[in-house]
Structure 1
Amino acid sequence: MTTIYKSAAGEGEIRRRYEDALHTWPVPAEHVRVPTREGETFVLVSGPEDAPPLVLLHGSGANAVTWQGDIASWSRYFRTYAVDLVGEPGLSAQSRPALETGAVAQWLDDVLDGLGLTAASFAGTSLGGWAALDYAVRRPDRVARLALLCPGGIGRQTMGWLFKVLVLRLFGRRGRRRSVAVVAGLEAPEHGPALDFLELTFSHFKPRTERLPVFSDEQLGGLAMPLLVIVGARDAMFDSAETARRVRRNVPKATVEVLPDTGHAILGQTGTVLAFLRG
């Protein structure tokens, strides 16, 4: 298998930083390792055992601590399962199932089966939003509710940011940090720690480079479960206006929110997502 890291030393540094972050998880959690056809999958489990299940899928270049700011609220009402996607810089296997096939859904079948879940609500962001939506399309009986933040696979995947990033990265660490800020849309001073972590990650990690498959109008129209989609109007990676337009046109009962001054990284939506998930 081709490694997803640029070096063994870089992999070790990312892993150490992630394991340190896991120690700051704000609520009690179980660290569960689920065997799947794609290799072992790491899941961070919190919340009451008898609460409704909620599966959380992070984006590219990230891991379960994506949800650190949300989990204290969500785990009061749900049994939360923050999954490290395979092929991303977490503690899951480095395999990367093909996106254009049903392989990602089959992997999630294994994850849910290994956790003893017949169905769950899902929340996903970016690549994780694409994976959650793909699963809802292919396994609608296993998805109770679906909350998507800046999801891929609906609006056009834009590439205009790429040239700017390539230029900025010529300027060393400061340029790399600035390029991460441009893509994520995290440019306020309080986003400094998040940018530091992202800069470290993308200094050592090789992300997926293929375009995400786009869901058809028919596939979107077939979604019968309650659906929430939140996008940032300034998203540098996806055409958020097209995402909102296609969801509204094809899924009339969906709730769609466009945040005017927000980029690709969508923060501060804990209460909105919780209110939707609780119905």
Structure 2
Amino acid sequence: MNTPQGIYRSEAGARAVHDHYRGLLERWPVPNTHVRVPTREGETFAVACGPETAPPVVLLHGSGTNTAMWMGDAAVWAEHFRVYAVDVIGEPGFSAPSRPPLGSAAYAGWLDEVLDGLGVARAAVVGASLGGWLALDYATRRPERVTRLALLCPGGIGRQKSGWMLKALLLRPFGQWGQRRTLEAVAGLRGAGTREFLDSMALTFAHFRPRMERLPAFSDDALRGLPMPVLAVVGAHDAMLDSHETARRLRRCVPHATVHVLRDAAHSIVGQASTVHHFLREPSGT
């Protein structure tokens, strides 16, 4: 595997992130296979699990993460679905480091090739944060290929906040401790149960260069054109996105959507595996 250029601060940092990720994948909770799909943007890595003949579900993770973020959910969804957890290009996983312009048709073209390579004609799509933006972008451009759309703290709907960046800059000189405090503030995760996740993210962001540009906003017309069932779950205390505006716009523009605002949650939405599973299993037309 070639070492990604540009998205990491050093070759050694890229190896450290990849070695850590490889160790996490070895702990995947259900039997799985690793798939590599060639695309015009470079090779794309995915973890596949669940019955091969079951309805397909595609998972798209957030910025600065990889497929490992779904490990706590995959076992639930794989009971009734063929799950494909895809490493988004340009992020700290095993996919190519390519970063085409956001808002262009490039990401939809990339996902076309990923789905084709997986042998999937139509699928439910679950996306978180940046992955939620990518899922929405694909659903607006390729509605015929998306059967259901589940969005966790999705970008591109509510206003993108910037206040958290000042806190991140103030804490940067404090090394790994500062990284953890920034992640705690942005993600809204604290406590012993989140320590491993926060340590993993701190390691990643010590070496990884995240995308800094704003996510393009979806127009009302684009949202109104979503024909498939939609579930959105957002945190009331999201430091990165205006979750209340996200909820208002979805309720206004996508009246058939189910929208949950979690009053005690921030940007990191956890513990929703059963909620999403129930949504994915709802009969068509409900």
Q: Give the TM-score normalised by the residue count of structure 1.
A: 0.99
Q: Distance in 2 between matches of 1:176 and 1:121?
A: 34
Match in the other structure for 1:112: 115
2:24 corresponds to 1:21: yes
Whole-angstrom CA distance in 2 between matches of 1:14 and 1:101 = 29
Q: How far apart in 2 are the matches of 1:6 and 1:181?
A: 23
d(CA) in 1 for partners of 2:36 and 2:177?
37
- Alignment-derived partner of residue 97 in structure 1: 100
Work out whether 1:245 is the aligned partner of 2:245. Answer: no
**For the residues of structure 1 that align with 2:187 and 2:13, how far apart are their CA atoms?**
22
Give the structure 1 partner of residue 59 of structure 2: 56
Cα deviations by residue, 1:197-242 (Å, 9 ceiling, x for unpaired): 0000000000001100000000000101000000000101000000
Q: Superposed, which structure 2 residues align to 1:85-234 within 5 Å?
A: 85-234=88-237
Q: Gaps spanning 5+ residues in structure 1: where?
A: none
CA offset digits 1:90-119 (Å, max 9, x no partner): 000000121121100000000001111111
What secondary structure sits across from 2:240 in the alignment?
Answer: coil
Identity across the alignment (%):
60
Query: Secondary structure at the residue paired with 2:278?
Result: helix
Partner of 1:35: 38
AA aligned opposite 1:234 = H
Shift of 1:188: 2.5
Within 1, Cα distance between the matches of 2:204 and 2:39? 25
SS of 1:191's equivalent in the other structure is helix
Q: Say yes or no: does 1:66 pair with 2:99.
A: no
Report the counterpart of residue 9 of structure 1 in structure 2. 12
Q: 1: distance between equivalents of 2:26 and 2:192?
A: 25
SS at structure 2 position matched to 1:265: coil
How many equivalent pairs are there? 279
Q: Which runs of 4+ in 1 moved over 2 A?
A: none
Q: Structure 2: how far apart are the matches of 1:64 and 1:7?
A: 22
Q: TM-score scaled to structure 2, two decimals?
A: 0.96
Find the partner of 1:76 among 73, 76, 79.
Answer: 79
1:235 and 2:238 are equivalent in the alignment: yes
Q: In 2, Cα distance between the equivalents of 1:259 and 1:155?
A: 15
Counterpart check, 1:45 vs 2:63 = no
Distance of 1:171 and 1:39 partners within structure 2: 36
The amino acid of 2:87's aligned partner reads D
1:276 corresponding residue in structure 2: 279
- Which amino acid is 1:104 matched to? Y
User: What displacement does 1:189 show?
Assistant: 2.5
Q: What do you get for the CA RMSD once the two structures are aligned?
A: 0.8
